[in-house]
Amino acid sequence: MNPLLRDLHTKFDSIPFDEIKTEHFLPALKEAIDSSKKEIESIKSSSESPGFNNTIERLERADSKLNWIAGIIFNLNSANTNDALQEVAKESSSILASYSNDILLDQELFEKIEEVYKNTDFSTLNAEEKTLLEKTYKSFVRNGAKLSPEDKSQLREIDQELSQLTVTFGENVMKDAQGFSFEIEEEEKLEGIPASALEAAAQLAESQGKKGSWVFTLDYPSYIPFVTYAKDRLLRKKMYLAFAKRGFNGNDFDNREVVKKIASLRKKRALLLGYSSHAAFVLEERMAKSAEKVEVFLSELKEYAYPVAKKELKELEEFAKKEDGIDQLERWDVAFYIEKLKQKTFNFDEEELRPYFQLENVIKGVFEVAKKLYNLSFDKLDDISVYHEDVDVYEVKEEGKHVGLLYLDFFPRKGKKDGAWMTVFRNQKIENEDNVRPHISVVCNFTKPTKTKPSLLTFNEVLTLFHEFGHALHGLLANSTYSSLSGTSVLWDFVELPSQIMENWAYEKECLDLFAKHYEDGGAIPMELIQKIRQAATFFSGYYNLRQISFGMLDLAWHSALVTGGEDVEAFEKKALTNVDLLPPVENVTMSCAFSHIFYGGYSAGYYSYKWAEILEADAFESFKEAGIFDTQVASKLKSEILSAGGNEHPSIIYKRFKGKDPSMDAFLKREGLVEGKGHEV
């Protein structure tokens, strides 16, 4: 029998990856859809008067199996894909778009939901039930339930095309990036590149039958050290251009037309639903509430960051000219000279940190932080099936009680998309009085072990692990009744709070002392290095903040009312970034064609969320700074009011319950060294 359809007899009902074959996915998906539709038909045909339990709650639970199967397909397509699975993902995306439309545009079903919404006494519902009812009703209305039959048909066509285009975008970025490699045979051209990166490049070359040379790729552990440390400016330029041209090479993986079609179809869809733009549609259901408020938010942040960034880059230009006679600082120079200036300013090279950040120790470190804050323990399991040999699985417990499963997948490989993310294989929910515990996965692309060294992380990779682990805690500590409100199922500009607040611990001595041990002799990281980490934390903060602000502005531009679909991608991007770009333009490159967050992931009209949540987390972490970074009372409140609460209530309510007041920009602006706090509210 299809392992995706039979009852699970695995430990903790874990996914039997070792039994699942690509040909199992589509039949299982289709059978799960048929089962969901039968349940929905039963809801519609019921002679009972529509109410919360027999309509809203039943609808919530109708597609549990379907969501589980779909999650496996798309998670594997991101983490361990191949040509056959990519075709399955495309077809699945199309099938699921049709299914979603069938439900959301079902007039008879909507009438029952509307009847419940209009006739229910909300005072009889608890907070989570109120949220589910409102969310269900709004979801139908916002996705076409009140459209005419002709408009519903048009919406179906748009959703079908979008379902294919977004998958194609992600595939194109991955294939274009993985199609590039750069072999260097002359050792003198490698000057400046850290030994760890060189060893990995030599090992990759040897695996390709190119012994005696070095091969670099666009995977982050290869690309970042190259553009940060390689002294050869022309080679830095070559690597930068290859990275910046992903999806923009005029080949089979070119995303220009895909970007334009996605943006124009999203706008067309929004107009059909009565909104002025895709951004207006999306932001109606965010903390920010409107595109206008996001524009004001980003503009206000820009006012703080821009003058600081301008001053920083002027200093960098002068430094590059003095050091190497560089008359015009280019984009492929920035990371190199920032690192060089940082070394000079703080007498500090971040490569000095690597020996203290062995991956296994950092993992133990985040586990220890979770133990101190939330009394969690992590036991490695060897009897759980995984989708790749690089993946490890842990059982998470709280005081001996099962909390969930955590899958960790850390190294780049063919068929794995770049970047880092947390995802869910099974959401937490309470059903038939059983608290079904979550299965969470963290996927990254970290520096791989070599023949002579274990995986030694950069400090940025340490921050990434803490960040994604924060998302994982949000999923693991979930305690909601309904899956659609559980864990990270919160408003999108709130979802980064639990992840970004975790990064703060990585800067604290009390935390670093737990795991930052030299991989050879076990010696603790010196206090001098910890001080330098903290000093360098806001080095060029104006520049980096402005860069993030620019990404948010580009995202808003692509999803504004001004998009026509006929844009020249490169020209459109340059115009969108005119007021935030301090570096000379580079011809024939774009960010848009590889901007997976907004054209493949879930961040369309929502990239600003990173800065929005950063202000929330800086404000929230003040409570730990005041009480102690491992204060269990503050941690308990963060857990109960935010991490466990999921989307049960509006984020503004649960944040205020945690903090006791509305958030402000004060802590963020102070921390980033942009300006003294002046009571700015979010």
Give the residue numbers annotated as catalytic, written as ranges.
468
Strands 439-443 and 401-409: parallel
Q: Which residues contact 242 (CB under 8 A, 6 or more apart)?
A: 180, 182, 218
- Give strand pairing partners of 406: 394, 440
Closest residue by Cα to residue 299 from 549, 524, 111, 543: 549
- CB burial of 358-376 (b: ≥16 within 10 Å; e: otherwise) equals bbebbbebbbbbbebbbeb
Please state the length of the chain: 682
Closest residue by Cα to residue 240 from 337, 335, 342: 335
Pair of tokens at residue 257: 């037309």
Where does 143-219 have alpha helices with state H?
149-178, 195-207
Rounded Cα distance, 428 and 11, in Å? 16
Rounded Cα distance, 58 and 42, in Å? 10
CB 396 within 8 A of CB 476: yes
- Backbone φ and ψ for 58, nearest 5 degrees, come out as -65, -40
Rounded Cα distance, 668 and 674, in Å? 9
Sheet of 421-426, strand order = 376-381, 392-398, 401-409, 439-443, 421-426
Compute the Cα dihedral for 578, 580, 586, 588 and give only its sign.
Answer: negative
Q: Which residues contact 236 (CB under 8 A, 6 or more apart)?
A: 226, 227, 230, 332, 333, 336
CB 222 within 8 A of CB 216: yes
